[in-house]
Structure 1
């Protein structure tokens, strides 16, 4: 994992944004699938 050893957020952002993007995509897909089950 990535440890924040005195690094600012912008120092680790290039490594974290793909993970954040993946998390957002998974969340959106999960919400859309869940909303379909409500019909």
Structure 2
């Protein structure tokens, strides 16, 4: 009973971490040039 729950939780955490990393990368790529252009 616990194995599928643990596997699902692990997968959810992996997805959240991947999304977080993607947001950081996109923010760095899009935010960097924009900040340079403004200043």
TM-score relative to the length of structure 2: 0.61
Gaps of 5+ in 1: 1-10
User: Bigger radius of gyration, 1 or 2?
Assistant: 2
Pick the structure with more helix per residue.
Answer: 2
- For the aligned residue pairs, the C-alpha RMSD in angstroms reads 1.5
Gaps of 5+ in 2: 30-39
Q: Which runs of 4+ in 1 moved over 6 A?
A: none
Alignment: residue pair count: 29
TM-score relative to the length of structure 1: 0.61
